[in-house]
Structure 1
């Protein structure tokens, strides 16, 4: 560290004051030299000019706050304050010289000296900024050596923000516009995309920042694919919408979006489909504080419903999403009533009370236990929440006259090997049975003999795979493990999953529900399945680190195989049958899969609920085997929180 940076603040301030006073005297001497070619000591009354300069300069500089600024962070605002201070100083200096008419003091000295003083003081500030900023950068352990990809407005703003920060040393810009390549921005060269690899090696680049917020997804993915081959940490700025409200700051620099890791472009939503079941209606969302539920709420609010009812059993989750949605309504000037309600979906009376009070037209049921190993260890709770919670919300919605009921399901419901997936398939079967029945007898479940003919509700299920960035996703786990120095934990080298981003999944759920006529299982097109091992490797590369394995023992991050967790499959599927139908949306398919009539299914549900209440795991799995196609429980090791799939 520079000895100057190690000094105390009062000491550094005293040095700056001394320098300014010395410069005021030097510029007086130079002014006399330039005007009358005088090089010796002051003559006649010239000594008063030497006294006047520091006596005027010091109080004015203090008044304008020139000694509160930190030199290495000095910017245009500080230089402007310096110019104002010296401008007033110059006016007073000239007036005093004119008024007193000291012998041997030409009036022109009153003009020459302030100009010289401004130049020297400004130069001292600028030199201090560049020199001290360089010293502070050298003393910063682990400082990044950065190239900015994008020589447009966002890139230039970012470079300006980095100029007053210590996190990075900016080395230049990258741009694929041939009219910009070879030119400079503030002395920094702009290099072409083909020269990036050479520049990384030659300059010792550690980080590349993508400052191209308006770039299309396909082009962005192509750039990221090339950068992945380089030993650099790739970072990004938010999109144009996020940057529109103000200038770029260093805080805007972030890890790559999960969309960048996924490597595919979401399809723009059909606005008419999105609004069909939402605009000017009362909408209810269960599990509103979860990853999918909260994103559903954000997108629903933008479609301007009359009222949005949030149902969540987690107090903090409900508080967080309610506060966020209220802010979103204020920001977008939306007159929407947002009602936060603490409730468990398994409590039928509470769900009835909520639905009767608010009469939702559309219900999105996202509440569920979804963590495979935990549900495997707690099958009774998993079944009560996932199966009978779904039934409770569905009954309450039907009784209150809801028009649409959409279940958020999972690809793990297809030929499951775990209780979580089997319970979600049972929830689908519940809705399929309700949808097919014209009159429904809940007597077997309630212990009564009554038959109820209920209002007709359109039921639909939307099935999709893993969502990147959710609370149970591998991406947050891998990022935490990268920060801790590894290893990244993967359950099996061949484990493969379908992935989708949370916003895209939520948009497709809303659109699929709007296409429902009753009993459909909608399946989202998840694209090509992704190997978890490949995702882990990609995240290591994009962090600018080297993979450590048998072939590369000197690498930075290892990948550890932990073994399959209880109930975990190597591969997930989206369809039970082989007859998917297309819909008007290219990313949404429809399957009419086999179901069990309510009259046959109700006794099985009664048996399962009885078994769950007495924690009879064997009886629960017996019912699941009987009604869930392909369900075969696995016997695995104990669950591991550090294993990802």
Structure 2
């Protein structure tokens, strides 16, 4: 059998039994061909049951079997690839026999025996294997009357693989498939009939007494997945899905593993395909420093950098638990990577100087930040200290020490900021752009994006926790929307933008369409097998401190330009006073040192003129739908 089907249970006893079987077949084949050849003669010679020639044939053929790895697998999974290996071994055995017996010019070995030998032996070796597999497959399907009956939605390549795996499991039995293709109706897939279209799932599920539905269409887009999930929910049966290719590549799912439908599947984020060559070329052999490297974004940046060939990842993290976790993960998954860590506050100049002087990073990803909007509204000092002044501390130190690249992770809340988070982040953006205009070799890049699914403190984990406790699910407003993307795709686009050649640029990531939070809550409730508003109530609590109804990704006057990647736009520079931005940093430090919140507020309002706090009544509806600027397409032209 081929080496592709390995199993630790294929022990020595079973292997020797298979080898003995194969050698017996070689003997039968060789003797049988001689008997058949001489049976045509009037006076056929008496053939001995064993001879030196037979022993030589058995030895040569055994060596050929070992050469092609015929005993590295299991009969249970015999396939066409195994039959090809068998024929290859038989043909190699024939060549060896011809070479060895050529010393006597093949005397005593009829040419007809040599011609038929590899084909006859292949049949004798392959037939028992295929019969054994067919018997085991039949046994798996029929051995347990309690096997769970599965109805498969889809009849493509993923469904074909799934049906074969289900039949082998013995725990599940595929009772049929559904597919919208007219050409497939009435056909069979590995013995499982295609019983109708996806819309027939309620009727067919009852007819075949299905106990589980499996969605085997990994290429579905958001709208298609939402439709199929809705059909599955109408049956009242549990349902699962096969993983998408992107999930397998990212390591979040295993091939063939069934998983619950996740909210990411329904949001339909298309797989991000960055310029892999550009990323590898930019990162290979570098030393990168990630501030906040144990957080949601920071830790994923560490993973992505490790995957793309950096020489060393240095993690600067204030939380010892997060530091321990990310270092252990990186060392476990990337044993050849050099992983270093410094425990400390990136707003502490001594810590920053120590990290830069010790490890000499080529690139710094500044991901450390406070990011919880309602909390920061009453913690303006900490928002400014950690989001603005710490950014200036790290960025200035990078300029002084000639760090090649400084990548600042910003947020969509820095656009027309109405809260402490947005204002502190917008000021940090302006600091990066200001330092980029000053003499120095450091290239500054800012990347701005919205919410990420599953990050610490995000709405999805909160909703799941509320649903697990029986509700209610709390939504701030029936019309509130947010942009979402997954953490891995956000970090891939950060790297894509950072690898560009621009200096001082602000990049925006294409976040897709804004998601209605109420709809997100309803989908999560349905995925939990509950009915929104019936099993799990939804309660509207009102917008929290500092929250907009809708977010925007860029200023209307930022004159965005397309980049080489369709999911990344570059914002044109906005006019502001560089001298004022940098001079007011000292004022911010003084206000932070004296805990003067009023002074901090005044400095922010003075330096970031777009900052209009929501405690001003006229600003309450900032970001209304009428003012949302959609993410432009590259086809729309150079200027937007």
TM-score (norm 2): 0.67
| Matched position secondary structure for 1:586 | coil
2:168 matches 1:147: no
1:299-340 Cα offsets, whole Å, 9 max, x none, are: 11111012111111111212222222223224xxxx321212
**Residue 482 of structure 1, CA deviation:** 2.4
Map 1:13-412; keep pairs closer than 5 Å.
130=144, 133=146, 147-150=151-154, 152-156=159-163, 159=166, 163-164=170-171, 172-176=176-180, 178-179=183-184, 181=186, 183=188, 191-200=196-205, 208-212=213-217, 215-218=218-221, 222-229=224-231, 230-231=233-234, 232=236, 233-240=238-245, 252-330=257-335, 335-412=336-413
Mapping of 1:436-585 within 5 angstroms?
A: 436-438=437-439, 455-548=440-533, 555-578=534-557, 579-585=559-565
Structure 2 distance, partners of 1:159, 1:467, is 35
Q: Does residue 630 of structure 2 align to residue 627 of structure 1?
A: no
The match for 1:99 is: none
Partner of 1:611: 591
Change (3 A) 1:150 1:342: farther
1:37-88 CA distances to partner (integer Å, 9 max, x unpaired)?
Answer: xxxxxxxxxxxxxxxxxxxxxxxxxxxxxxxxxxxxxxx99xxxxxxxxxxx
Q: Do 1:277 and 1:362's aligned partners in 2 also have CA atoms closer than 8 Å? A: no
Cα distance between partner residues in 2 of 1:181 and 1:287: 57
Instruction: Measure the CA separation in 2 of the matches of 1:604 and 1:340.
Output: 32
- Judging changes above 3 Å, is the alpha-carbon distance between structure 1 residues 492 and 245 closer, same or farther for their aligned structure 2 residues? closer
Measure the CA separation in 2 of the matches of 1:305 and 1:249: 26
Distance (whole Å) between structure 2 residues aligned to residue 318 and residue 245 of structure 1: 22
Cα shift at 1:150: 4.5
What's 2:580 paired with? 600
Aligned CA RMSD, in angstroms, stands at 3.3
* Distance in 1 separating the partners of 2:430 and 2:249: 47
Unaligned runs of 5+ in 2: 1-74, 77-135, 617-640
Matched-pair contact (CA < 8 Å) for 2:287–2:310: yes
State the aligned residue count: 472
Aligned to 1:429: 430
CA contact (8 A) 2:225 2:266 kept: no
Is the 1:519–1:592 contact (alpha carbons within 8 Å) kept by the matching residues of 2?
no
Cα pair 1:274 1:507 within 8 Å, conserved: no
Residue pair 2:219, 2:244 contacting (<8 A) in 1 also: no
- Quote how far apart the aligned CAs of 1:460 are: 1.1
The CA deviation string for residues 177-201 of structure 1, in whole angstroms up to 9 with x for no partner, is 6547553767787554242132346
How many angstroms apart in 1 are the aligned matches of 2:434 and 2:255? 55
Aligned pair in 2 of structure 1 residues 504, 243: CA closer, same or farther (>3 Å)? Answer: closer
CA separation in 1, counterparts of 2:141 and 2:547? Answer: 62
The 8 Å contact of residues 465 and 497 in structure 1, kept in 2 or not, is answered as yes
Give a deviation string over 1:619-643, Cα, whole Å, max 9, x none.
111111112232222249xxxxxxx
CA contact (8 A) 2:315 2:323 kept: yes
Greater length-normalized contact order (CA 8 Å, ≥ 6 residues apart) = 1
Within 1, Cα distance between the matches of 2:169 and 2:423? 52
CA displacement, residues 473-504 of structure 1 (integer Å, 9 cap, x when unaligned): 22222222222222221100111111112111
User: Could you tell me the TM-score, scaled by structure 1's length?
Assistant: 0.66
Q: Distance in 2 between matches of 1:244 and 1:377?
A: 42
Equivalent residues of 2:263, 2:524 under 8 A apart: no
Structure 1 SS opposite 2:144: helix
